[in-house]
Chains A and B, each alone.
Chain A
């Protein structure tokens, strides 16, 4: 017994001291930039911790949910890319702000700059970017240099403040978009209670147009169809606007704040700086004409690809995660919408910026339907109305985006 005690005693001392002396290994990849990679982001649970995983080649077949080169992030709800940079709205620890990652040659990710409190953002080019930071001012847009991830100044739009409309007014919270040298920043008027998320107090859509070169306000533009009064959703990783191959800037009104009865796509045509009042894609008139939510679309060769619900969405959001969504292709000339076959129904795209995305000239759709064991991407066939699966992620979690990053 005494011998046993002696052994235990010395083992106790030794184990604790050895453990205490363990040192961290150096970590990090080569930091090489310039290689083409494919990257996807997933989450164990919706918006929970997840992993960025990269591939040298376009993935196919069954894809593991993570590999040894993956980066764990504490909060996973979408990402955006600019060339070979990846941007997220939180850092790996989950702190709110604008985080930039680059992809190392070995496929690992490297954090390269973080701007605290940055929220909605836009990267225009390597050295020009914009973001909102309400702590610095709800009526201000901050400017930054994406290459260094440093703040460079701000654009003060306080002249647009109208206290007669609302207690709370914000610019750039839900939408920051750019086209042809102009920055388009959404303006919202709501009660302080909602702080921009619902309860919009105007009956139209309003944007500030800013000249990117001079950082000066050009004008305020309005879209007033008597139906929609908000564009985008500021807390999402999905920016909810896109530029089509026709050069037009398309904005998505999700219907999140009006019971999904008023979801539309509106646009500013190439060469224009005001809304195309004569043009709209109204969810109430296409597909199964249900109350739905258009959160993203892709415009290519006269076609618009979008997702529509097959049954009315619940105003309290209860069925957003039900498998009731299909992808459609809309012929912009005729307005005809056709359901794209070959894919099971999926749930709402939420924050997936790349739910409908174009890579190397092909159109891909994200589909998650865990009842059928599917969470992956489908490629649009040459017929334009059917799709086949490209890869499936082998997990029970959520895929929150897939993109190609290249210099």
Chain B
């Protein structure tokens, strides 16, 4: 496996290197630091929308530049961003970069980059700078878990389902975006648990209010995955090998011809793991090795387009595709093992993106369009069952392992997604934004072993179901007092229509159609106390519309509920950021409040059935703090903790009233130490080392009456005052590693040991995650 991946990467790298060449130009120079030339520094001219990376000797050059004044931005990993204003014609430049005090910080502090701008926005978000960790064998999940207020829960190893909890919101309350576009159309093929860190510029985790650019009916926040901006010509390849026969590879190649205004590129990544780690299932209390848990995933995109023409700043056409082959070792809980149950998913996704700035940059247009079909298939025909030792037990009655009747389903989910964004600078201090997202979805499929409607006998999956959703947003950004105060006011309108065939209580066909709409409003305010400190606050009346399956059920025992109301929530965030001079110490504190009504839960209904109903109301407060401290010039520390006290209210049930939101962590913290030095073994090398510690406080899978919670301060230690075995216990995980650059920043070797002490790590509903694992990652940039 390892050999085949390396071979592919090597051949692709050789072949695609042929497309790279240097361009002559009229802005040129070199970039150096205290030790000499600095390769791999981004040089970007915003007004011309041109950029490139310095070469091995730290040189750069732009050609065909008209005479005039330009602002050049120099940024590189480990360096302070520097902005220079130059004249053309002019002399060759020599740019001296300063090593950043925050070079290894997760939350980037690099000048006024896009990342920094998002972080300092009035709208609270955790900004995870993926590029800082691009050379380490880290996953986006690990980076997110090290951020205050964010927990990711994964149901197993690489490729297993992952969900995020933000300020107590989880599952469908959180919406996901790729470069600002809701990413439902990408299915399971592209998400934060699979995308290599190298592929992303950053991850924006919005904790409450979503900016206008992100159009979705999120109840409690959103995740925006921002793809890495590659400027000029570039090649990057990485390969990771790890425990459990895990292989991850990544390749990015881009060619840009600024003279002829076109660009083209290819990006892709591969995830493979046997995921055959040891677990101790509760029902047998023995340590066994998982045996049917392999995961294969391929993702690739070919793209091309034109840039900086009269009619388009960027017109990008891409065709992405992915393929997933997954063995399912267990279901929603780690109770019953499966030995043959498998599923696949694939799609080919053509996309189009058009961007244009008009009227001297005052009007910005951004249009995204895609249409694709995701095909999923399930094969569950073992005619028997497996035990945790991998032994097969034939059954004369059960066709499947996950269900009696088994499955041979094939379902097509067709998507049409359009996102239109425009912003207009009304005045130098006011900007108007509008965003419209329309998503149409159709589901149709078949399952020869599946359920049929009573009477017609039709396969339930063969009857198409349609679900259309639109989200319109408008926002006004205003700055006052010389931009010391910034305010964002946002209004949103959500609507959906649905048409499908439902089964009545006896299973006979019933045509159903429904539509619903709601308004939402949000405001975010920021006040800059000084250049190093600011406070901000935001509030939102948020709405999440019911999804198709929540309204319609499955036509069988999961019955429909057309009286289902949208979930609504009032969310407030307030926080302060401050830093000492030179940012030796930075501290951010944030408090949040939510009051959520009509949470949708799947509950027992009448005698036989279950049904989605508006059951729970949740309210509470939370507090988080994040600090970074430069102990020594080469040693930095960071830490954060989050406490959230979210409780049920208006339950009409004294056993539930004021109890904590179940299956949700309420205290977690992180500590980290990072060190780096140049000239470690030779005159050209560099090494970066790190250690991270993560702690999650014990939490309950089922509600505990408040009077029976631990007596300790905020419940931070001790146990419930009742025998409550349904808990996820305290968890402490240590991770350490280093990244070594033997020659320069072009090539690096990253090594990491995760879960050093092989602690039992549990997650959603006590599904056990991998124990100790070893990782090696090689990265090459050109």
- Chain B 378-409 residues near chain A, CB threshold 8 A: 384-385, 393, 395-398, 404-405
Partner of A136, one of B393, B505, B556: B393
Which residue of the partner chain B has the closest CB to A28?
Answer: B723
Q: A46-B604, A396-B652 are in contact. Are A20 and B732 (CB under 8 A)?
A: yes
The count of residues in chain B whose C-beta lies closer than 8 Å to any C-beta of chain A is: 67
Partner of B333, one of A25, A95, A136, A320: A95
CA distance A2 to B625 in the complex (A): 16
Partner of A27, one of B669, B717, B723: B723
Is B704 an interface residue, CB under 8 A from the partner? yes
Which residue of the partner chain A has the closest CB to B609?
Answer: A317
Q: A2-B580, A74-B702, A317-B607 are in contact. Are A195 and B732 (CB under 8 A)?
A: no
Q: A27-B723, A93-B766 are in contact. Are A16 and B655 (CB under 8 A)?
A: no
CA distance A12 to B603 in the complex (A): 40
Which residue of the partner chain B has the closest CB to A351?
Answer: B607
Which residue of the partner chain A has the closest CB to B395?
Answer: A135
A367 to chain B, nearest CB (A): 19
CA distance A22 to B729 in the complex (A): 11
Interface stretch among A108-116, A202-210, A324-332, A337-345?
Answer: A108-116
* Chain B hits for A114, CB < 8 A: 283
Q: A74-B701, A195-B404 are in contact. Are A12 and B732 (CB under 8 A)?
A: no
B616 to chain A, nearest CB (A): 10
Question: Once the chains bind, are B283 and A8 in contact (CB under 8 Å)?
Answer: no
Partner of A74, one of B603, B695, B726: B726
For A237-261 the 0/1 string (1 means CB < 8 A from B) is 0000000000000000000100000
Question: Once the chains bind, are B655 and A65 in contact (CB under 8 Å)?
Answer: yes
For B703-739 the 0/1 string (1 means CB < 8 A from A) is 1110010000000110101111110011010000000
* Chain A hits for B607, CB < 8 A: 256, 317, 320, 350
Q: A20-B693, A49-B726 are in contact. Are A12 and B625 (CB under 8 A)?
A: yes
Question: Once the chains bind, are B723 and A193 in contact (CB under 8 Å)?
Answer: no
Question: Once the chains bind, are A13 and B336 in contact (CB under 8 Å)?
Answer: no
A140 to chain B, nearest CB (A): 8
CA distance A12 to B697 in the complex (A): 15
Question: Once the chains bind, are B695 and A16 in contact (CB under 8 Å)?
Answer: yes
Question: Once the chains bind, are A25 and B669 in contact (CB under 8 Å)?
Answer: no
* Chain A hits for B608, CB < 8 A: 197-198, 256, 317
* Chain A hits for B695, CB < 8 A: 16, 19-20
Q: A114-B283, A317-B606 are in contact. Are A20 and B730 (CB under 8 A)?
A: yes
The count of residues in chain A whose C-beta lies closer than 8 Å to any C-beta of chain B is: 69
Question: Once the chains bind, are A93 and B726 in contact (CB under 8 Å)?
Answer: yes
Question: Once the chains bind, are A8 and B587 in contact (CB under 8 Å)?
Answer: yes
Which residue of the partner chain A has the closest CB to B729?
Answer: A24
Partner of B654, one of A91, A193, A396: A396
CA distance A127 to B159 in the complex (A): 46
Which residue of the partner chain A has the closest CB to B384?
Answer: A135
Contacts A/B (CB < 8 Å), 24 sampled: A5-B585, A5-B587, A9-B627, A16-B641, A19-B667, A19-B697, A22-B717, A24-B719, A48-B702, A66-B708, A68-B721, A72-B704, A74-B702, A92-B726, A116-B335, A134-B398, A135-B398, A136-B393, A139-B397, A193-B454, A195-B404, A195-B405, A256-B607, A317-B609
Residue positions of A touching B, CB distance < 8 A: 1-2, 5, 8-9, 12-13, 15-16, 18-20, 22, 24-25, 27, 44-49, 51, 65-72, 74, 91-97, 108-109, 114, 116-117, 134-139, 158, 170, 192-193, 195, 197-198, 256, 315-318, 320-321, 350, 394-397
12 extra interface residue pairs, beta carbon distance < 8 Å, beyond A93-B726, A95-B282, A95-B333: A8-B587, A9-B629, A12-B669, A16-B639, A22-B717, A65-B654, A72-B704, A91-B283, A135-B397, A192-B404, A193-B507, A195-B404
